[in-house]
Structure 1
Amino acid sequence: MRRKHTDHAKASSIDPYLGHNPLLRRSDRVQARTKSIVVTLMILMLPLSAWFAMTTLSVQTDRVSEQQHSRHSVTATTTADANPTTLAQSDVSVQTTTTVDATWTYAGVDHQGQISAVSGSPAGTETDIWVNDNGILSMQPLTHGDAVAAALFTGIGSLLTVHLLLYGLYAAYRFHLDNQRESEWDLAIKNFMDGNSLS
């Protein structure tokens, strides 16, 4: 008898939800299975997030390589004073740059447009800008650091998003089961009191 009880205890210690514990309700087993599924999905999300990160890094690296060859640094010369805007003169904030007309030359062709310059700088101020192969004003090219940052953001962001979503769903389902168990307890207590009433 003692050996049989010991064997049952060992089986329960491995996974108490696989044993025939009479104290475990159906909702307890459902919650345990749900938790196992959620944990498994969280673990499986690790390599998937790593794949997202590596894919993003590959794409961003290609963009870095393309932009390093298609973006060019030239010197632009402002053709007007960089007067601060009304917002720059307000008490709330101080604007350090403003938009001003300027000209620049790329591949022997003159171009003109508006660039950002330091507020208060006079006409004729030279500022380094970036242009594309057509000499049109463009953004600064991406760097390898930008590519790595984007990859980390994608990988970690996707991992945290899925983990929070799974945990939120599990927490909501557990809350539902807790309410169900409380209702079952209330009903059982009511039935017990009704069945053992002295009146």
Structure 2
Amino acid sequence: MMRNTSGYLRVLRRGLRGRHPLIRRTDRAEARLAVAVLLLVLATIPLAGWVGARTWDTQSALAVQQTAERTLVTAKTQAAAETTDATAGELTMVASASAPATWAWGDEKRRGDVTVDYGTPAGADVQIWVDPNGEQALAPLSATSAKISSVLVGLSLWFAAALLAAAVFGYGRWRLDRTRNREWSREIAAFLGSTSSH
């Protein structure tokens, strides 16, 4: 049994050459499977880079669009912040705090609940983002977030391909090991049968 990587690589190299007298058909099949899996993992690297670059282009364009469309305005809270508790068994945690607020948009006054710090009193000024219609919106996507998301997408694709390749190799090796064990059992039975007949 091979207990280290160097021993396995030696057997793999012999299996690819196919000249060693103890190398079986299953050993050659395992060597070819290992090479195919390695090539698949390596071939996925440029694909993951390409997908990451396309994601970066899309996310960057979205960040520019959101930055151009969304505006930071000052809202005034109309009441003290109310906390929302999350209960898990006997443990109670404060999940978030919000307060009703108003803000000016052109000649109109808009209303809505805004997220604030805990303990924010009524009449406090809070900076919020609004969309082109003056409705409350999320903060625009930043360039840093766009970069992080594109890197994560590329890495996730590569890791998924590596996991798939590892699963294929593991399954293939399991099948080959079963075939090897059956062959060994037949040959041992044949050998013991031939020696007992003398």
Verify same fold: TM over 0.5.
Answer: yes
Matched residue, 2:3 = none
The AA in structure 1 aligned to 2:69 is S
Whether the 8 Å contact between 1:76 and 1:128 is mirrored in structure 2 is yes
1:115-171 Cα distance to aligned partner (Å, 9 max, x none): 112233221111110000100000000111001001100111101110111111101
Matched residue, 2:166 = 167
- SS of 1:73 mapped into structure 2: strand
1:126 matched to 2:125: yes
Report which stretch shifted further, 77-86 or 170-179: 77-86
The AA in structure 1 aligned to 2:116 is A
The 1:86/1:173 distance shift into structure 2, 3 A limit, reads closer
> Percent of pairs identical after alignment?
29
Q: CA deviation at 1:107?
A: 2.7
Matches within 5 A, 1:128-147: 128-147=127-146
Using the size of structure 1 for normalisation, the TM-score is 0.84
Matched residue, 2:35 = 36
Using the size of structure 2 for normalisation, the TM-score is 0.85
Matched residue, 1:64 = 63
Whether the 8 Å contact between 1:80 and 1:124 is mirrored in structure 2 is yes
1:73-127 Cα distance to aligned partner (Å, 9 max, x none): 0111111121334549x97354274122111112332100111122332211111
- SS of 1:50 mapped into structure 2: helix
- SS of 2:81 mapped into structure 1: coil
Report which stretch shifted further, 129-138 or 179-188: 179-188
Report which stretch shifted further, 119-128 or 64-73: 119-128
Q: CA deviation at 1:17?
A: 2.7
CA distance in 2, matches of 1:96, 1:125: 21
Runs (4+) of structure 1 exceeding 6 A deviation are none
Matched residue, 2:6 = none
The AA in structure 2 aligned to 1:143 is S
The AA in structure 2 aligned to 1:31 is E
* Unaligned segments of structure 2, at least 5 residues: 1-12
Greater strand share, structure number? 2
CA distance in 2, matches of 1:59, 1:121: 38
Q: CA deviation at 1:20?
A: 4.0
Whether the 8 Å contact between 1:95 and 1:119 is mirrored in structure 2 is no
Whether the 8 Å contact between 1:96 and 1:118 is mirrored in structure 2 is no
The AA in structure 2 aligned to 1:189 is I
Matched residue, 1:156 = 155
Whether the 8 Å contact between 1:53 and 1:151 is mirrored in structure 2 is yes
